[in-house]
Chain A
Amino acid sequence: MHEYSLVQSLMERIQQEAVARRAVAVHRVRLKIGELSGVEADLLESAFDIVREGTICAQASLEIIRVPARWECSGCHAPIAAGAVLQCGACGAPARLASGDDILLDQLELEVP
């Protein structure tokens, strides 16, 4: 369960951004979490609910955009289905993960007086 330590890192990053922009509150936090990132979005939400108490995010809503895993051929870019052997049927090159490993702080909505 590394979601708590992730939320701690997230809070530090948000705090830093809020101070730099002289914000008094954070209203919205938007994250992008990939299917193959190793992070469970539901657990991240629970951790956020607990950790945000008494912080600048106390009233913030959390939006998590779940990014599906998308594999493609590293040579010819043909799509390769999740669950298939990770090698291109056409050219034999290994697959590469085109998206789905993100653990991103995407956007904040800050209240600036």
Chain B
Amino acid sequence: MCETCGCGDPHLVPVAIQDRILSVNDRQAAHNREHFAAHGVLAINLMGSPGSGKTAVLEATARAFAGRFRTGAIAGDLETERDADRLRAAGIPARAITTGNACHLDADMVHTALHDDSLHGARLLFVENVGNLVCPAVYDLGQAFNVVALSVTEGEDKPLKYPVMFRKADLVLVTKTDLLPHLDLPLDRLLDALSRVMPVPVVLQVSSRSGEGMEAWFSWLEGRLAEAGGSHP
């Protein structure tokens, strides 16, 4: 109660905080980032809608990099180990995170998954996020780069509808380009939409199925691996 005048009002104290609500996640992400840096790991957060072709891109990457770079993956889904099973079948040690009903991975989930022995020694670690163009963009995982898969069947205006996700993207993979002959997708309008939500639009057109454009994606990864340092395989 107010002790100044005895008015009976409670004593209210304004407190300036100005702290990010996700500061706990941010600290865990920073810890993951330090871990990756200390072990020379290039961590890529791969995001995109359900069915945008994330797992197929990683399967093709696993086959191309077999014997060249030690690669690992963490695959997030609400239920099932199916994506992790597919990646293991393609030759990548993979750990599944089933989130139940959570729509995104957070830094703590990734940290827990990193303790999986099968991921030790990986130089290139893919975190295949939960299929969702909204929520995963909000949570830092400690990755070096955000890559967003956008399939040609999703339409040219997706970037304008989901600007937060694309703003955070370091690279956009336009996937399933082998389907273009069957669609009326104006690619120039898709690229224009990206230039209105990404300050530096870096876009590669790929087809995991035909292999077209995949070499450019592999080169992009090799460039980032070289920057991440260390000549050890």
A70 to B28, CA, bound (A): 29
Residue B37, interface by CB 8 Å: no
Interface string of B39-53 (1 = CB under 8 A from A): 000000000000000
| Other-chain residue from B1, B19, B138, B199 in contact with A96 (beta carbon distance below 8 A) | B199
Does A87 lie within 8 Å of B195, measured CB to CB? yes
B24:A106 contact, CB within 8 angstroms: no
Cβ-based interface call for A86 (8 A):
yes
Does any Cβ of A come within 8 Å of B120's Cβ?
no
Tell me if B18 is interfacial: C-beta within 8 Å of chain A.
yes
Give which listed residue, B16, B23, B104, B165, contacts A2 with CB less than 8 A.
B104
Cβ B17 vs Cβ A106 within 8 A: yes
Verify B138–A39 contact, CB threshold 8 A. Answer: yes
Chain A CB within 8 A of B181 CB: no
Query: In whole angstroms, what is the CA distance A10 to B23 when docked?
Result: 10
Q: Out of A38, A87, A95, name the residue touching B138 (CB < 8 Å).
A: A38
A37 and B138 form a contact (CB under 8 A):
yes
**Residue A31 at the B interface, CB < 8 A?**
yes
| Minimal Cβ-Cβ distance residue in B for A102 | B20
Taking a contact as CB atoms under 8 Å apart, the answer to whether A27 and B12 are in contact is: yes
Within 8 A of B (CB), among A89-113: 94-97, 102-113
Tell me if A51 is interfacial: C-beta within 8 Å of chain B: no
B75 within 8 A of A: no
Give the tally of cross-chain contacts (CB within 8 A): 108
Interface string of B154-180 (1 = CB under 8 A from A): 000000000111010000000000000
Known: A85-B195, A103-B22. A21 touches B138 (CB 8 A): no
> Across the interface, do A38 and B134 meet the contact criterion of CB distance under 8 Å?
yes
**Contact, CB under 8 Å: A103 / B164:** no
Majority SS at the chain B contact face: mixed
**Closest residue of A by beta carbon distance from B200:** A94
Interface SS majority for chain A? mixed
In the complex, what residues of A have CB within 8 A of residue B196's CB? 83-86
Which of A5, A23, A94, A108 neighbours the largest number of chain B CB atoms within 10 Å of its CB?
Answer: A5
B167 adjacent to A87 (CB under 8 Å): no
- State the Cβ distance, B198 to closest chain A Cβ, in Å: 7
| Separation of A2 and B16 alpha carbons in the complex (Å) | 25
Distance between Cα atoms of A38 and B164 in the complex (Å): 6
Would you list which residues of chain A between 54 and 105 have a CB under 8 Å from chain B? 74, 83-87, 94-97, 102-105
On chain B, the residues within 8 Å of A1 by CB distance are 103, 135
Q: Considering only CB atoms, which chain A residue lies closest to B102 in the complex? A: A5
What are 5 sample pairs from A and B whose C-beta atoms fall under 8 A apart? A2-B103, A23-B13, A37-B138, A104-B18, A105-B19
Beyond the given A86-B195, A95-B199, could you list 17 further A-B residue pairs with CB under 8 A, ordered by the A residue number? A2-B135, A6-B138, A17-B15, A27-B10, A38-B135, A38-B137, A86-B196, A86-B198, A94-B199, A103-B138, A104-B17, A104-B21, A106-B16, A107-B14, A110-B13, A110-B15, A111-B11
| B residues adjacent to A (C-beta < 8 A) | 1, 10-25, 102-104, 106, 134-135, 137-139, 163-165, 167, 192, 195-200
